[in-house]
Amino acid sequence: MKPLIVANWKCNPITLKEAKKLFNLVKKGVKNFKNAEVVICPPFLYISNLKSQNSNIKIGAQNCFWEQKGAFTGEVSPKMLKNLGCQYVIVGHSERRRNLNETDEMVNRKLKAALKENLRPILCVGNKNRKREKEFKGIRIQMEKALSGIKKSDLKNLIITYEPVWAISTTKGREIATPIEAKEGAIFIRKILAKLFDKNFAQKIRIIYGGSVDSGNIRGFIKEAKMDGALVGAASLKPKEFVRTVKAASRA
Ligand code: PEP
pTM: 0.97
Is the four-CA dihedral 214, 115, 139, 106 of positive or negative sign?
A: positive
In Å, what is the CA distance from 160 to each residue of 6, 51, 205, 208? 12, 24, 8, 6
Question: Is 67 considered catalytic here?
Answer: no
With beta carbons less than 8 A apart as the criterion, state whether 110 and 92 touch: yes
| pLDDT recorded at residue 164 | 95
Report the separation in Å between the CA atom of 16 and the middle of ligand 1, taken as the mean of its atom positions. Answer: 22
How remote is the CA of residue 231 from the centroid of ligand 1, in Å? Answer: 7
Instruction: Kindly list the distances between the CA atom of residue 162 and the CA atoms of 59, 84, 159, 185, 223, in Å, as whole numbers in the listed order.
Output: 21, 28, 10, 7, 16
What are the structural domains of the chain?
4-251 (3.20.20.70)
Which of 12, 168, 214, 221 has most ligand 1 atoms within 8 Å of its beta carbon, as the pocket-test mutant?
168
Q: Which of 95, 117, 135, 163 is catalytic?
A: 163
pLDDT, averaged in runs of 10, over the chain (252 residues): 97 98 96 94 96 88 98 98 96 97 98 98 94 92 98 96 94 93 97 97 97 97 97 98 97 88
pLDDT digits (tens, 9 = 90+) for 157-184: 999 999 999 999 999 899 999 999 999 9
Could you report the per-residue pLDDT of 89-126, keeping only the tens digit for each?
999 999 999 999 999 999 999 999 999 999 999 999 99
Q: How high is the pLDDT of residue 54?
A: 77
Q: Is the CB of 217 under 6 A from ligand 1?
A: no
Indicate if 133 belongs to the active site.
no
